Structure 1
Amino acid sequence: MSTTTLDHSVKALAAIEGSDTQAPLRDGSTTRYVNFDYAASAPALCSVVERISQLLQTYSSVHRGAGYASQVTTKAYETARGQVADFVGAGNEHCLIFTRNTTDSLNLLARCVPGKVVVLDLEHHSNLLPWNDVHVVRGANTLAATISRVETALKDTRAVLLAVTGASNVTGEILPIGELAEIAHRHGARIAVDGAQLVPHRRVDITATGIDYLAFSGHKTYAPFGSGVLVGLRDWLDAADPYLAGGGAVLNVTADDVKWAPAPARHEGGSPNVLGAAALAAACVEIESLGDAVVSHEATLTEQLRDGLSEIPGVHTLKIFADSTDAVGVVSFVVDGHQAAEVAAHLSAEYGIGVRDGRFCAHPLLDRLGHGSGAVRASLGLGSSSADVDLLLAALRAL
């Protein structure tokens, strides 16, 4: 789809389930639901739902059945693994494990890390809490100063892993992952990226960028069927104890001993979420087919939203770094004289607009930014339009 033919006022970039959902208003009427909560959970692509419906016709066991339906299901599962691996630029040295979500992926990786981990204080809790031996770096007011602090921490702690977000779930600001990967490798460490907010919105090539481990979620990538991904270098994954001990994770079991399978089977014990894996693969295929139109679409709407918010008296947007220049479509703000929950409830009850309010599972960052009581977050996606942004801005002006 050419970006030059996109009418941002009336068209979404891709077919989204629930785009005509009606929301009840305070006065008893209904209106079209306007979704500004993509950063929490994105709606399903219609192509994803179609893929699920197709696969349900032959759904069966995986890896353990000789019957036709089992063969079809096994092929669908492993084909999905290859499609998702290709989507993120994985090479032969990488292993892709299907999980439940980003939190699950990072908890799995935490069990495999043979040493200290360095993280930033701006991380989502899923990248703060799992690590057993962690050093938290307090971010500075600029990216440049923050990167310098990260390098000092890697040098002083002799950490084996730097774990960072690809894009903030609070402000959408994108970190320079390639530069951070080079710094980590220079100091003998690997880099893991929480890609939950980055992967659905920007092309991520782990081989080209130097990412050693990447985690992301299906429910943020237009495939809300309970899937997630951890993809990365095999050696740590093969050396660690199985994440889930059970059938499928073994090569042989006796009454006295067990021989575990190598990854990915080593960490995928039990019957896998075939539908979730296939759904995520279908979403990846469609997003890739859209190409640069995804970035163009969201950049246009994000600029419209940020510019509009800046013109409303009493509305203040949040920003982590004074020198950051790139962000995905996530914008958080506060409104003078109003609690975040009050603003969110007003937008829903009066206009049918869905936003997120609170601390976004990033409490240390909100505290550092001076908004420990919470903020309002508006996040954009493939189904967003210029008309949606205009409605949100009008609602805030009225408030």
Structure 2
Amino acid sequence: MSILTILDAANTAATVDAATDAVAAAAPAATPAGVPADASTGAAECPLPAVVGSDLLVPLADGRQVPYANLDYAASAPCLEPVRAAVAEALPAYSSVHRGAGYASRLTTARYERARHTVRAFAGARPGDAVVFTRNTTDAMNLLARCLPEGTTVVVFDSEHHASLLPWPRAVRLAPPASPGEAVRAADEALAAIDGPKLLVVTAASNVTGELWPIAALAHVAHERGARIAVDAAQYAPHRRLAVAALDLDYVAFSGHKLYAPFGAGALVGRPDWLAQAEPYLRGGGATRNVADEVEWSTDPEQRHEAGTPNVLGAIALAAACEALTATGWTPIVRHEERLTARLRAGLPEGVRELALWGPDHPRIGVVSFTVAGHPAREVAEILSTEYGIGVRDGRFCAHPFVRALLGEEGDCADGTGAAVRASIGIGTTEEHIDRLVAALHDIVRR
């Protein structure tokens, strides 16, 4: 495939999403044990799983209590009921992993390693890919940064979350691209100018605008230039099916707390060679094969970078969330999200400016960031909370350069910091939540 073909495809918003989905769908679905074979493709639709806290009541400034409208999924998603059940089941036999001979230790070890296989299948990874459990996406990206071959240069866009923007010791930073095709072209040109090992780092879905990035095209040009690609899938994984092998991605990172498993675990999934050759991310028990006058580190990349007692319950929770989403099927999840996102965007009043890098028609997940004319972002968020029982995020969303670029002078005029408000949608979001937010924004604008 020529670079011109890739650029033409990437410049068409609908083609970006459709091409990525087509590549992913063409690959055999890796299905965790106990999940129907057709579930991971969305062929068998199930009801959306329940979330813990869906009946939460919150106080308002006038003394009333109302059901909480949680529109802050992009920051941290609530726990799924199947995840809570999986953790409760594991707790009575909780014990150390890998180093105990007792029944509880062996059972916990089996559950922990099964979680690793489940996460690998959920990511659509290659059979030999490593799955290293981390704390979150930030931890996973920093782990990868520690494992880069000496002299590696990283190419990264300024539109990235800080977790993907900041860890690299040697980086070429690119301006936010004007189009998907420009993203592919800029990455291609930057990689072509670099000698030695190189890595392209990019998000799959923006945590600021929700827009989907052309990761299939970016993976292609990265490999054409002899580079690898690492994808921040923190926002993508809860909303769309991952397909590491089908899209030929080298690494993906994502967080349990954004994937309805808020128990402090995340994962770095990808090729094992760089991980197996690097110094351990942490030095301690479990990462070693032998300690004498010299230390012999484990050659297994997962053990090598999981020193100490790992977050076993976090891994079990993460796997349970992966299984629940896979069993539900992606079709109902995506339909639910797209319907509510369209309802929200269509209801935004005059005076509310939605942030976007590539225009209103580009495919996106359920993330809508905006400013309200004449009202600082923090003020809007506080009004939504105290007067309407709505939870949103305000600020720069750990993507300061990107938000400043999107807002320009408006950010300084609004509140002097370049801040915005972000509403984000998930499995527990309802039409009433969306309608309440729309009505509240109309009220605020009228003030």
TM-score, length-normalised on structure 2?
0.85
Alignment partner of 1:284 out of 322, 325, 344? 322
In the alignment, structure 1 residue 106 sits paired with structure 2 residue 169: no
Please list every run of 5 or more consecutive structure 1 residues that lacks an aligned counterpart in the other structure: 7-11
- Following TM superposition, by how much is the alpha carbon of 1:260 offset from its aligned partner in structure 2, in angstroms? 3.1
Find the counterpart in structure 2 of residue 95 from structure 1: 130
Alignment pair present for 1:392 and 2:440: no
Larger fraction in helix: 2
Contact 1:48–1:283 (8 Å) recurs in 2: yes
Structure 1 position 324, deviation (Å): 6.1
User: Equivalent residue of 1:57, what SS?
Assistant: helix
Which residues of 2 match residues 51-90 of structure 1 at below 5 A? 51-90=86-125
Measure how far apart 1:3 and its partner are. Answer: 11
Which of 363, 374, 386 is residue 419 of structure 2 equivalent to?
374
Paired residue secondary structure (1:51): helix
| Residue 388 (structure 2) aligns with | 351
Partner of 2:250: 212
Instruction: Name the structure 1 match of 2:156.
Output: 119
Secondary structure in 2 matching 1:270: coil
Residues 42 and 221, structure 1, Cα contact 8 Å, conserved in 2: yes
Q: Give the Cα–Cα distance (whole angstroms) in 2 for the partners of residues 175 and 140 of structure 1.
A: 11
In 2, Cα distance between the equivalents of 1:173 and 1:34?
Answer: 23
In structure 1, give the amino acid aligned to 2:335.
S
Whether 1:189 aligns to 2:237 is no
* Cα distance in 2 between the residues matched to 1:260 and 1:289: 35
Aligned to 2:241, the other structure's residue is in SS state coil
* Match of residue 198 from structure 1: 236
Q: Given that residues 161 and 191 in structure 1 are in contact (C-alpha distance below 8 angstroms), is that contact kept between their aligned partners in structure 2?
A: yes
Partner of 2:10: none
- The 8 Å contact of residues 45 and 328 in structure 2, kept in 1 or not, is answered as no
Alpha-carbon shift at residue 4 of structure 1 (Å)? 12
Sequence identity (%) = 52
Contact 2:133–2:268 (CA under 8 A) maintained in structure 1: yes
Instruction: Give the Cα separation in 2 of the matches to 1:260 and 1:140.
Output: 42
1:142 CA displacement: 1.6
Whole-angstrom CA distance in 2 between matches of 1:66 and 1:5: 41
SS at match of 2:371: strand
User: Aligned residue for 1:251?
Assistant: 289
Query: Letter of the aligned partner of 1:325 in structure 2?
Result: H
Q: Which amino acid aligns with 2:315?
A: A
Give the stretch that moved more between structures: 216-225 or 158-167.
158-167
Match of 1:39 among 74, 81, 88: 74
Alignment match, 1:167: 205
Letter in 1 for 2:128: E
Out of 424, 428, 436, which is 1:383 matched to?
428
Cα drift, residue 255 of structure 1: 3.2
Report the equivalent of 1:137. 174
Q: Which residue type is aligned with residue 99 of structure 1?
A: T
Aligned length: 392
| CA distance in structure 2 between the aligned counterparts of 1:354 and 1:360, rounded to whole angstroms | 15
User: What stretches of structure 2 of length at least 5 have no aligned partner?
Assistant: 1-38, 412-416
Residue 9 (structure 1) aligns with: none
Q: CA deviation at 1:282?
A: 0.3
Partner AA of 2:235 in structure 1: Q
Contact 1:142–1:324 under 8 Å retained in 2 = no
Does structure 2 retain, via aligned residues, the 8 Å contact 1:3–1:297? no
Is contact 1:167-1:327 (8 Å) kept?
A: yes
Note if contact 1:34-1:388 (Cα within 8 Å) is conserved in structure 2. yes
| 1: CA distance, partners of 2:179 / 2:273 | 35
Please tell me whether the aligned partners of residues 377 and 395 of structure 2 are also in contact (alpha carbons under 8 angstroms): yes
230, 249, 270: which one pairs with 2:308?
A: 270
CA distance in 2, matches of 1:71, 1:4: 34
Q: Deviations over 1:69-90 (max 9, x none)?
A: 0011000000000011001111
Q: Distance in 2 between matches of 1:5 and 1:140?
A: 37
Q: CA deviation at 1:13?
A: 2.7
**Equivalent pair of 1:302/1:329 in contact (CA under 8 Å):** yes
Contact 1:3 1:293 in 2 (8 A): no
| 1:18 maps onto 2:76 in alignment | no
Secondary structure class of the residue paired with 1:301: helix
Whether the 8 Å contact between 1:119 and 1:134 is mirrored in structure 2 is: yes
Q: Could you tell me which amino acid in structure 1 is paired with residue 187 of structure 2?
A: V
Alpha-carbon distance in structure 2 between the residues aligned to 1:324 and 1:252: 57
The aligned counterpart of 1:152 is 189
CA contact (8 A) 1:36 1:353 kept: yes
Cα offset, 1:289, TM superposition: 1.1
How far is 1:150 from its partner? 1.3
Aligned-partner SS, 1:61: coil
Quote the offset at 1:323 in angstroms: 8.0
Change (3 A) 1:132 1:301: same
CA contact (8 A) 2:74 2:424 kept: yes
